[in-house]
A and B are shown apart, each in its own frame.
Chain A
Amino acid sequence: MHPVIKRLAMTIPLLLVISSCAFVLIRLAPGGPFDRERAPASPEIERALRARYHLDEPLWSQYLRYVGLLWERDAEGRWRWAAGGLLKGDFGPSLKYRNHTVNDLIAQALPVSLTLGGIAFGLAMGLGIPWGVWTATRRHRWSGFWGGFVALGLICVPALVLGPLLILVFALKLRWLPVALWESPGHAVLPTVALGLFFAGRVARLMHEGMRETLQAEFMVTARAKGLSEARILIRHALPLAIRPVLSYGGPLLADLLTGSFVVENLFQIPGIGVFMVNSTLSRDYPMVLGLVLLYAVILIVLNLLVDLLYRWLDPRLRHG
């Protein structure tokens, strides 16, 4: 069987395993979703709430209900499948924001995080890859040294530091850009820079590392002996192999960025998914956590598959045998 089909076939069981692991994991954590009600809920109210959201059932039946495979007796005593469920694409109601379903909340917040994460990823790659190649080709010169130093400097300035500084300087002092919120393209500049620059440094370093190793390989000597131009050697011969560390880093990075960053979203008051991910875990909003975990898992699995395919396609040794 073709390895790609094999991987794809593995995806569904993997998702089921992840969903059940996450289901058990989040229930392991002490505390429950109704611990932080505004008024201290009386035992009856809490019991009613738990019954309303089926939290009083045994864990296995809750899980089956979540997946959508529960065969139960309804109010009139007839046997039927329980409504909703993961298999029908329904993540269930949120226990924290009770007027919303998890699907609604995700549908509202995901586009924002996708946009911000996508641009930041573009920034990281667009800056990092050329930067890494450039520093690797001039590693015995001062320009290469300082180029490397700048990349190193970038990975020392995380969003937690860069974000507030950017706000202080460009939004509060110079008043060039808005402080927060997510409205015009201008609002995207500071968050993107705060989020992307750090990863641009990482990409540049990985690229440098890969390129440096590749440039010492023997097939580079062959390529040079053939009298190819330096640009062609770099792009056609070295880059496909040298980019592999960046590739294997890029998959998870993109998944992380697309599903939002808590720090940046919190700093700039951006209504994205990263904030939900943390808050719902802290408040034990079980369906929300599971929905987000599954979303992240799907994105990550798809991206990893793509990275694998790219790996295969870029490496002639793997491609031909």
Chain B
Amino acid sequence: MADPTPSRLAKRPAPRLARAAVPLSPGRRAWRRFRRSRAGFSAALLLCLSVLWLGAWPFFSHESIAPYLPRGLTWSPLTLTDAQFAGPDREHWFGTDVHGRDLLSRVMHGARISLVVGLVGAAVSVIIGVCWGAVAGYVGGRWDSWMMRVVDALYAVPAIVLIIVLVATLQTPLKAWLVARWGTDLGPTANLLLLFVGLGAVSWLTMARIVRGQVLSLRERGFVAASRVLGASHARILLRHILPNVWGVVIVYVTLTIPSVILYESFLSYLGLGVEPPYASLGYLIADGVVHINAIRTHWWLIVFPGGALVGTLLALNLSGDGLRNAWEPREEED
């Protein structure tokens, strides 16, 4: 509904129309609306702050700063202590794990890795998915049918099988290439690169489908026919008239994709195919806590804190995604 109906226009007060003569760009308007959405904007702010905090975190254990900070903040995730399975206290705010490593610092490092993997993986999937879906839906006919059969076929292979095979297959050549190029195999970083590719490659399918469905129904709408009659090119119709109406759905789905990418990553870490062991993502930490569930002593902090961090991250991502969605939606006439 990018075309405002006459009745809607008529309802608007005159000064509004006068201002609309020098229109803001859609991005500007969206940003304005986004700043006004309370939950979304504060979640995004919180997210930015925690990204800064997470970025600063490794420096807290540096010897020039550490003495001025509370002891609980200055642990490194790799330091082993004798305090195994210590509950949360002044020394270890989140407690310690089986090797006496400080859980707070492990959670902080885990959150960094999970966030990066989620964002990059989702970005890869959006790029592939939107292009594929928009072209298929807009071109239609035989091309659409073939492109969607490809998606069907990929869909029909369980993602986890695809990802395990992809990661296992690409690992050796990638490391060989890195050694040949830079003389080092980069260790965990190479694994992260693999994860981006693997996660992006399996999570674009639903995006392509959703975008294609939207485009398919949008291209039959009156305003598309109108702009075609006015002589607009296909690229213009697709980019200016159809895709802006799809962004809302895309953003909603991205907010669903980032969590699912983060989840997939945790799943892979659990299987030993994700982040390499001395470091750990949030999912890896939760899986680590699950191993130590038993009926005699409950080490609840091993699950509650990494789980809480994961839930908090997802909540912030989803809230800001919702805020962005409301801001981008051209249907809403309430600005």
| Chain A min CB distance to B146 (Å) | 11
With A160-B266, A160-B283, A304-B152 already in contact, the answer to whether A281 and B311 are too (CB < 8 A) is no
Q: Does A233 contact B (CB under 8 A)?
A: no
**A10 CB, min distance to chain B CBs, angstroms:** 7
Inter-subunit contact A153/B315 (CB<8 Å): yes
- Cβ-defined partner of A158 (8 Å) among B156, B259, B290: B259
Rounded to whole angstroms, the CA-CA distance of A262 and B162 in the bound complex is: 15
Residue pair A161, B310 in contact (C-beta under 8 Å): yes
B79 interface hit (Cβ, 8 Å): no
Cβ < 8 Å to A, chain B residues 87-112: none
Nearest CB to that of B283 among chain A residues? Answer: A160
Residues of B within 8 A of A300 (CB): 155-156
Please give the distance in Å from A234's CB to the nearest CB on chain B. 19
Answer yes or no: B165 CB below 8 A from chain A CBs.
yes
**Chain A 129-173 interface mask (CB, 8 Å, partner B; 1/0):** 000000000000000000000001101111011001101100011
Known: A31-B168, A158-B310. A168 touches B300 (CB 8 A): yes
Q: Identify B162's interface contact among A10, A25, A157, A179, CB under 8 A.
A: A25
Q: A263 CA to B310 CA in the complex, in Å?
A: 16
- Identify which of residues 133-150 in chain B touch chain A, using a CB-to-CB cut-off of 8 Å: 149
User: Counting CB contacts under 8 A, is A65 at the interface?
Assistant: no
Which residues from B are CB-within-8-Å of A267?
Answer: 290
Contact A160 B263 (CB under 8 A): yes
Measured between beta carbons, the chain A residues less than 8 angstroms from B169 are: 28-30
Contact flags B285-311 to A (C-beta < 8 A → 1, else 0): 011011001010010100110010011
The verdict on A222 contacting chain B, using a C-beta distance below 8 Å, is no
Chain B residues touching A, range: 35 or more
Asked whether, in the complex, the Cβ of A155 is within 8 Å of the Cβ of B322, the reply is no
Q: Closest CB-CB distance, A232 to chain B, in whole Å? A: 24
Instruction: Report if B13 contacts A (CB, 8 A).
Output: no
Chain B residues with Cβ under 8 A from A156's Cβ?
Answer: 259, 311, 314-315, 318
Interface size of A by Cβ–Cβ distance < 8 Å?
54
Given the contacts A156-B311, A161-B286, A205-B252, A216 and B157 also touching, CB distance less than 8 Å:
no
Quick one: closest B residue to A267, CB to CB? B290
Q: Does B210 contact A (CB under 8 A)?
A: yes
A64 within 8 A of B: no
Are B156 and A160 in contact (CB-based, < 8 A)?
A: no
A245 to B214, CA, bound (A): 10
Please tell me if the beta carbons of B209 and A248 are within 8 angstroms of each other in the complex.
yes
List the A side residues contacting B158 at CB < 8 Å. Answer: 259, 277, 292-293, 296
| A257: Cβ under 8 A from any B Cβ | no
Flag if A164 contacts B307 (CB, 8 Å): yes
**Cβ-based interface call for B61 (8 A):** no
Which chain A residues (247-290) contact chain B, with CB distance < 8 Å? 248-249, 252, 259, 262-263, 267, 277-278, 281-282, 289
Q: CB of A306 within 8 A of chain B?
A: no
Q: How far is the CB of B245 from chain A (nearest CB, A)?
A: 10
Contact across chains for A281 and B295 when beta carbons are under 8 A apart: no
Complex alpha-carbon distance, A8 and B51, angstroms: 50
Q: Is the pair A155, B213 in contact by a Cβ cutoff of 8 Å?
A: no
- Is A127 engaged at the interface, CB distance under 8 Å to the other chain? no
**A194, B153: Cα distance in complex, Å:** 29
CA A82 to CA B88, docked complex, whole Å: 64
Is there a chain A Cβ closer than 8 Å to B271's Cβ?
Answer: yes
A26 within 8 A of B: yes
A304 to chain B, nearest CB (A): 7
Nearest to B321 among chain A residues (CB) is A152
CB of A22 closer than 8 Å to a CB of B: yes
Residues of chain B at the chain A interface (Cβ within 8 Å): 1, 149, 152-153, 155-158, 160-162, 164-165, 168-169, 172, 206, 209-210, 213, 220, 249, 252, 256, 259, 263, 266-267, 270-271, 283, 286-287, 289-290, 293, 295, 298, 300, 303-304, 307, 310-311, 314-315, 318-319, 322, 331
Q: A164-B290, A173-B298, A289-B161 are in contact. List 15 more A-B contacts (CB 8 A).
A: A14-B149, A22-B157, A25-B161, A26-B165, A28-B165, A156-B311, A160-B307, A161-B303, A161-B311, A164-B289, A248-B213, A278-B160, A292-B161, A297-B156, A301-B152
24 contacts between A and B (CB under 8 A): A14-B149, A14-B156, A22-B161, A25-B157, A26-B161, A29-B165, A152-B315, A155-B314, A156-B311, A158-B314, A160-B263, A160-B283, A161-B303, A164-B289, A168-B293, A168-B298, A213-B331, A245-B210, A248-B210, A259-B158, A281-B160, A282-B164, A293-B157, A301-B156
